[in-house]
Each structure stands twice: as structure tokens, then as C-alpha cells.
Structure 1
Amino acid sequence: MRKPTEQDIRNSFVNCTKGEAKRLSVPRDLDERPWDDLDFLGWRDPGAPDRSYLVTEREGRLTGVALRFPPSQRGFLHRSLCSLCLTTHPGGGVSLMTARKAGAAGREGNSVGVYMCTDLACSLYVRGKKVPESGVRFEESLTLEEQIARTTGNLAAFLDKLYT
């Protein structure tokens, strides 16, 4: 992913108002992110623990999505699977992230959801740059390129639902 500017990020959101996008907390460490290893930029809002944001390149443009997730987490013995990168995590490592739909459907209160890594580090888990809390990621027969394509395809399918 190419490194976006703060203004690029704010202008990319498709499921919140311009005022909401202007007020959201953008990461201050954009220069330090491993851009070559990211399929999307994801971060949690430090001022609102139930909010996260995701920005990705889609059809040649940046697309930003505001996400919400429940603060209650599962017990440590429970394991969950991220539906984007297929990484398993114990406890609250995977959350149901919901996004208000784009356009009129979103203004009517419609939303879509996806189970994904709570820390939004799917790209790093797939590439082996970050290890899940359990310390183990399933061995796969797919190549790294195929795993990346699957993750980006799963993300694209989720984003498609924002517009239907």
C-alpha cells in the first residue's frame, strides 16, 4: 500500500459524514508504518475504545471505513478466527467489526459486519511480521502471494457489502 497523507485518509471515508471524518483520530505514526507490508491501514481510536478505522486502496482510490465493535471480549480459553486473514486468536483477539453502510442505506441505520483481528494487523500476520498472541499461525499450503490475495479478496468482499 502507498503511504497516504492525513488529508487523503480523512477524504477517503465512505460511511461517515465529512464532519465525522474531520474529527476522527488519525495515527500520528504514519511515517513509521511498514507500508510495503500493508494491504490496508487499520487503527483503533484511542479516544473511543469501541471504534476502529480501516483505509485501503480500492479501484485506484483510497476507501476508508469507520468500524465499531463491542467492548466485551470472550474468555481467554475461547479461540476465534479472523475472516479476512484466517488467523486464530485467543480471547478478544478477533472482534465483530460493524460498519454503517454507505449512502442512503447507512443513513437509515443499515450496517454490515465482519469478524477480524481486533488489532487490524491482518497484513502483518499473513506475512509473518507479527505473531498472534497464541504464538502460532496455521501452516498453509498456499504461497504467501496466494494468502495475500485471499486476504485482500476477503476485504474487498466485505467492502462490496457496504454498497449493496
Structure 2
Amino acid sequence: MEPLDETTIRAAFVNCSKGEAKRLNLPGKLADIGWEDLDFLGWRDPKAPANAYLVLPREGKLVGLALRAAAPHASQLKSSLCALCQTTHAAADVSLFAARRVGNAGKQGNTVGTYICADLACSLYIRGKRKPSAVTSARVTSTVDEEVARTMASLNKFVDEVLTDNA
């Protein structure tokens, strides 16, 4: 992923108001992010951990999504699978994230949800730069490029749902 600046990130959001995008907390120092290892930028708000954000390149432009995380699962004994990168984690390390739909559907409170790595670090799990805590963790035997393509296809399918105003 190409490095992004604050203005570009804030302008990318499609499912929140400009005021909300202006007020959201960015992921620390942008210059310290390892952009070369990311396929999308994902972070949780350290001041409000239920708030999370994704910014991804899509069809030649950036799309940003504001998300809400469900309460974490308490079990470290059960495992869960990230719907994007297919990494198996302890159940507490995968969260259900909901995104408000765009347009009238979003104004009526309609959301779309999916299970994603709780730390939104799918790109790092794919590349082996971060290891899941689940003992039963297993990776699919495919190349990093194939896993990136599958992850981004899953993420784009989720974004398609968010961008659908079905009111």
C-alpha cells in the first residue's frame, strides 16, 4: 500500500459524515507505519476501542469505512476464523465488525457485519509478520500473493455490501 497522509485518509470515508471523519483518531504516527507490508490500513481507536476504521485502495481511489466492534468473546479455548484473511485465532482475537451502509439505508440504521482479526492486521498475518495466538492456528498452503488476492476479494465484497443503499 502507498503511504497515506491525514487529509487523504479522512477524505476517503464513505459511511460517516465529514465531521465524524474529521474527529476520528488516526493510527498514531503515519510515518512509522510499515506501508510496504499493508494491503489496507486498519486500526482501532485507542480512546474508544469499539470504534475501528479501514482504508483501502479500490478501483483507483481510496475507500474508508468506519466500523463498530461487538463485545469481545471471552473464550481463549475456542477458535474463530477471520472472514478476510482466513487466519484462525483464539475466539477473543476475532471480532464482529459492523459498518453502517451508505445513503438512506445507513440513515435508517442498516449495517453490514463480518468477522475480522480483532487487531485488523490481516496483511501482517498473511505475510507471517504477526502470529495468531490460537494454538490450532493453520495457514492455507498458498502463496502470499494468492492470500492477498483472496483477502482483498473478501474485503471488497464486504465494501460492496456497505456501498449498497438498499433502503
Question: Does the pair score TM above 0.5?
Answer: yes
What residue number does 2:48 align with?
48
State the alpha-carbon separation in 2 of the partners of residues 136 and 76 from structure 1: 11
Pair 1:111-2:107 in alignment: no
TM-score where L is the length of structure 1: 0.95
User: Unpaired runs of 5+ in structure 2?
Assistant: none
User: Unpaired runs of 5+ in structure 1?
Assistant: none
What residue number does 1:90 align with?
90
State the alpha-carbon separation in 2 of the partners of residues 72 and 115 from structure 1: 11
Question: Shift of the alpha carbon at 1:136?
Answer: 6.1
Structure 1 runs (4+) deviating above 4 angstroms are: none
What residue number does 2:20 align with?
20
- Greater shift after overlay, 134-143 or 50-59? 134-143
Question: Shift of the alpha carbon at 1:62?
Answer: 0.9
Task: Please list the CA deviations of residues 52-80 of structure 1 after superposition, one character each: whole Å capped at 9, or x if unmatched.
Answer: 00111111111100000122423111110
Root mean square deviation of aligned Cα = 1.3
TM-score where L is the length of structure 2: 0.93
What residue number does 1:124 align with?
124
State the alpha-carbon separation in 2 of the partners of residues 90 and 72 from structure 1: 11
- Greater shift after overlay, 84-93 or 112-121? 84-93
Number of residue-to-residue matches in the alignment: 164
Task: Please list the CA deviations of residues 88-115 of structure 1 after superposition, one character each: whole Å capped at 9, or x if unmatched.
Answer: 1113100100000011211111110010
1:49–1:71 Cα contact (<8 Å) kept: no
Q: Alignment partner of 1:63: what SS?
A: strand
